């Protein structure tokens, strides 16, 4: 059966490599990608075709009405900025191989890639990336615009603040709270709470930078 006969449609904002993964997930789930937008349509991934100008060129002319959108941009701060301008409905993209507990909640605009696991009573916010093979255990709270990278493992009762990036293969032990807009380096072992705007790396994790506001 042709999946496109389901008549589900979505639009993608962003035309880099990250958007290719989202496009594939949506297509496998029976969506027709009607439009792709980017703020630099002449400088996009080679596999992106027919890319239209994004909203930065002219906010008023951007077609806010229409099929739901996924902001397919990997940089958390840029995803948040664009979400602040768009006045669209949003779609989710969840790979068919992801395992998601029926008691968990997934916010609008969020993407969950192949092999990811989200356990019971977890709340994942809006416009979050749960990347390939990431493991989010029970009773987690993942803030809006966060990114849980491939193979990262979050144990039970972990909190990840808005816009924070948990790097590839990082491990967060139970009941740890990571603040907002933090960066957890690849392979880092997080053993205690992390303040807002902090960069943490190593095993055990050590603070190497805290952004001053």
The token pair at 160 is: 């990840």
Enumerate the active-site residues: 138
168 strand-pairing partners: none
Tens digits of per-residue pLDDT, 31-68?
999 999 998 888 888 888 888 888 877 778 888 999 99
Helix (H, G, I), strand (E, B) or coil at 198: strand
pLDDT at residue 1, as a whole number: 37
Distance CA 155, CA 138 (A): 7
pLDDT at residue 48, as a whole number: 86
Angle CA 73–65–89, to nearest 5: 55
pTM equals 0.93
pLDDT at residue 209, as a whole number: 87
Going from N- to C-terminal start, the domains of the chain cover 3-85, 93-203
CA dihedral over 46, 145, 55, 36, signed as positive or negative: positive
106 strand-pairing partners: 124
- In the numeric block, the tokens 């009607």 are attached to 34
CATH number for the domain whose boundaries are 93-203: 2.160.10.10
CATH number for the domain whose boundaries are 3-85: 3.40.50.20
Please indicate whether the domains covering 3-85 and 93-203 agree at the CATH topology level.
no
Please, are residues 93 and 75 in contact by the beta-carbon 8 Å criterion? Answer: no
* Residue ranges for the chain with pLDDT beneath 50: 1-5
């Amino acid at each position: 059966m042709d999946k496109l006969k389901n008549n589900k449609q979505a639009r993608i904002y962003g035309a880099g490599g990250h958007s290719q993964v989202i496009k594939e997930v949506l297509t496998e789930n029976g969506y027709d990608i009607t439009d792709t937008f980017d703020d630099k349509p002449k400088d996009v991934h080679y596999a992106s075709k027919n890319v239209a100008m994004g909203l930065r060129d002219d906010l008023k002319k951007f077609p806010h009405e229409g099929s739901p959108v996924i902001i397919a941009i990997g940089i958390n701060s840029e995803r948040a900025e664009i979400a602040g301008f768009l006045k669209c409905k949003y779609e989710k993209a969840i790979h068919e191989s992801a395992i998601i507990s029926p008691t968990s909640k997934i916010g609008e605009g969020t993407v969950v890639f192949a092999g990811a696991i989200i356990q019971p009573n977890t709340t994942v916010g809006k416009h979050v990336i749960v990347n390939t093979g990431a493991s989010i255990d029970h009773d987690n709270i993942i803030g809006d615009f966060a990114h849980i990278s491939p193979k990262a493992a979050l144990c039970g009762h972990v909190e990840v603040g808005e816009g924070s990036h948990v790097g590839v293969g990082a491990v967060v032990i139970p009941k740890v709270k990571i603040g907002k807009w933090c960066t957890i380096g690849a392979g880092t072992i997080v053993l205690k709470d992390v303040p807002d705007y902090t960069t943490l790396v190593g095993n055990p994790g050590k603070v190497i930078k805290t952004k001053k506001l």
